[in-house]
Amino acid sequence: TKKESKSSKSDEKPNKRKRKEDGAPKRPMISFMFFSQDKRAEVKRDNPDASFGEIGKIIGNLWKNASPEEKKKYEKKALEDKERYKRE
């Protein structure tokens, strides 16, 4: 005999994240995300066999060891994006 599935739509927990309203502005990115966008292709090229998670760890270490001057560039981008979000 087949076991019947105990889960049903009514038993599912509600999603805690709020759904984005149609036309709502895209949330601002943090400085690390701008850094990650810039470095991901380079890290992937240098580590072609690395998994997505491994690439993330490498980027995280690069961010951790980045100079304050380099971080400042991305912090400025994040601040500009935050201002964009406030305007929208």
Token pair in block for residue 22: 């149609």
The whole-number pLDDT of residue 15 equals 63
Residue-range domains of the chain with CATH: 32-87 (1.10.30.10)
Angle at 6 between CA 5 and CA 12, to 5 degrees: 115
Task: Convert the pLDDT of each residue in 9-54 to its tens digit.
Answer: 555 566 666 666 777 889 999 999 999 999 999 999 999 999 999 9
Tokens of 28: 């601002």
- Top pLDDT among 6 and 83 is at 83
pTM of the full structure: 0.72
Q: What is the residue type of 42?
A: E
